[in-house]
């Protein structure tokens, strides 16, 4: 009877080799599966990083889309400032009209992220101010801004133009 016959040594070797071969193949497939999983995770992470980078770039572009236009309007702000300063204490419809126009323009610019840097009395900040001279401090604190020759402007925390200032001397 074939069913009850003891296995032959050659049959055991063949089975053992086949078993070892199958184990090796299973291990190779497991390694390949782990490699594919790791590669999939890397690609997913790369895709997520790229999505975040694109979203950040779009947000930056949106925040600074008006930078060129607002930068070109700075001389208009300067002219209105000069006109209002020249009018001094004089009243009248012309000065009121100039003041109203200036405030409206500032509001529109402010709604688009532009803010004025007018640092009189504040400590000198080299990141936002450009010193053009120094003067005796008088009653002001040394290192503070005494006078502003030209206002500076910031667009969404990015400096468009530094304020040109006179700084109080240190004794």
Predicted confidence (pLDDT) per residue in 10-20, tens digit? 678 888 899 99
Predicted confidence (pLDDT) per residue in 58-70, tens digit? 888 887 788 888 9
If DSSP states are collapsed to H, E and C, what string results for the chain? CCCCCCCCHHHHHHHHHHHHHHHHHHHHHHHHHHHHHHHHHHHHHHHHHHHHHHHHHHHHHHHCCCHHHHHHHHHHHHHHHHHHHHHCCCCCHHHHHHHHHHHHHHHHHHHCCEEEECCCCCECCCCCEEEEEEECCCCCCCCEEEEEEECEEEECCEEEECEEEEEECCC
pTM of the model: 0.65
Q: Which fold does the domain 67-168 belong to in CATH?
A: Nucleotide Exchange Factor Grpe; Chain A, domain 2 (2.30.22)
């Amino acid at each position: 009877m074939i069913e009850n016959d003891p296995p032959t040594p050659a049959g055991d070797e063949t089975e053992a080799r086949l078993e070892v071969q199958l184990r090796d193949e299973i291990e190779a497939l497991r390694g390949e599966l782990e490699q594919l999983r790791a590669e999939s995770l890397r690609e997913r992470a790369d895709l997520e990083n790229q999505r975040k980078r694109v979203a950040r770039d779009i947000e930056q572009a949106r925040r600074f889309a008006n930078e060129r236009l607002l930068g070109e309007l700075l001389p208009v702000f300067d002219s209105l400032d000069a006109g209002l300063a020249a009018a001094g204490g004089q009243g009248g419809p012309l000065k009121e009209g100039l003041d109203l126009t200036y405030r409206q323009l500032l509001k529109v610019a402010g709604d688009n992220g532009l803010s004025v840097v007018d640092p009189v009395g504040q400590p000198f900040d080299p990141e936002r101010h450009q010193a053009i001279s120094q003067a005796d401090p008088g009653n002001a604190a040394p290192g503070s801004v005494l006078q502003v020759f030209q206002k500076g402007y910031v667009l969404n925390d990015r400096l468009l133009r530094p304020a040109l200032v006179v700084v109080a001397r240190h004794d």
